[in-house]
Amino acid sequence: MGKEIDLLVNYPKTKRNLDERVASKTEADRAIARQFGRDFFDGDRRHGYGGFNYFPRFWQPVIPTFQEYWGLQKGSSVLDVGCGKGFMLHDLAELIPGIVVKGIDISQYAIENAIDDMKPYVQVANALKLPFPDDSFDVVISINTVHNLERKECGQALQEIERVSRGNSFITVDAYRNDEEKERMYAWNLTAKTIMSVDEWIGFFKDVGYTGDYFWFIP
């Protein structure tokens, strides 16, 4: 089994205004967000990011953690499942010259609007069926993405990550540790379809055969 490890420990913490997001969100807003189109990335805040732009301050502090943990170097290969506009991949490629990066995302909008230097390396695909042969990558990373699938499909996506990875993977998913966190998570959530307690997730990883590492997104 993989282990619980916060490889995003150096990702900057943003202040989230929970009340504002809860108050301004309806089922219709959720439906729009779940299309992962322009509205989700660059539309109104109630449908998603409210502007999804590149800032080095987000992923650049995280890359050295990845680099050290997996010994990433020239020639290492990394797949990002749910890569959005490729910002994390951009920083990996910038800070680790010669690394081989690939990204997939279900959003045609995100892929079409990917950061310029990553355009050749990102493509539209579903986490449910990764368009790569078995054992293709040294590391597969998926941040806040697989929980957007229903439970059964989420298990299938984890098996796909397992299949294309040569042994190392890391995911983060929406989770809670107690009732207070659970309430906050459901209030915060816009797109996730599978939200569980950390213990349920760990049991789920075992059931579906996911042996990579993991950590939690807890708002």
Write out the residues near ligand SAM by the rule CB under 6 A: 36, 82, 84, 105-107, 110, 126-128, 143-145, 148-149
Query: Of 173, 114, 123, 184, nearest to 149 (Cα)?
Result: 173
In the complex, the smallest distance separating the C-beta of residue 17 from ligand SAM, rounded to whole angstroms, is 17
Q: Is 121 helix (H, G, I), strand (E, B) or coil?
A: helix
Nearer to ligand SAM, 1 or 5 (CB): 5
Nearer to ligand SAM, 54 or 69 (CB): 54
Nearer to ligand SAM, 76 or 145 (CB): 145
In the complex, the smallest distance separating the C-beta of residue 148 from ligand SAM, rounded to whole angstroms, is 4
Q: Is 165 helix (H, G, I), strand (E, B) or coil?
A: strand
Nearer to ligand SAM, 65 or 144 (CB): 144
In the complex, the smallest distance separating the C-beta of residue 80 from ligand SAM, rounded to whole angstroms, is 7
Q: What is the rounded distance in angstroms from the CA atom of residue 100 to the CA atom of residue 137?
A: 9
In the complex, the smallest distance separating the C-beta of residue 103 from ligand SAM, rounded to whole angstroms, is 9
Strand partners, 197: 176
Q: Are 21 and 46 in contact (CB under 8 A)?
A: yes
121: tokens are 């390396």
DSSP string covering 104-136: EES-HHHHHTS-GGGGGGEEE--TTS-SS-TT-
Nearer to ligand SAM, 145 or 168 (CB): 145
| Antiparallel, parallel or unpaired: β 77-81 and 213-217 | unpaired
Q: What is the rounded distance in angstroms from the CA atom of residue 12 to the CA atom of residue 159?
A: 30
Query: Of 35, 60, 32, nearest to 47 (Cα)?
Result: 32
In the complex, the smallest distance separating the C-beta of residue 27 from ligand SAM, rounded to whole angstroms, is 18
Contacts of 149 (CB under 8 A, 6+ apart): 127, 128, 156, 157, 193, 194
In the complex, the smallest distance separating the C-beta of residue 202 from ligand SAM, rounded to whole angstroms, is 21
Nearer to ligand SAM, 84 or 155 (CB): 84
Q: What is the rounded distance in angstroms from the CA atom of residue 164 to the CA atom of residue 155?
A: 15
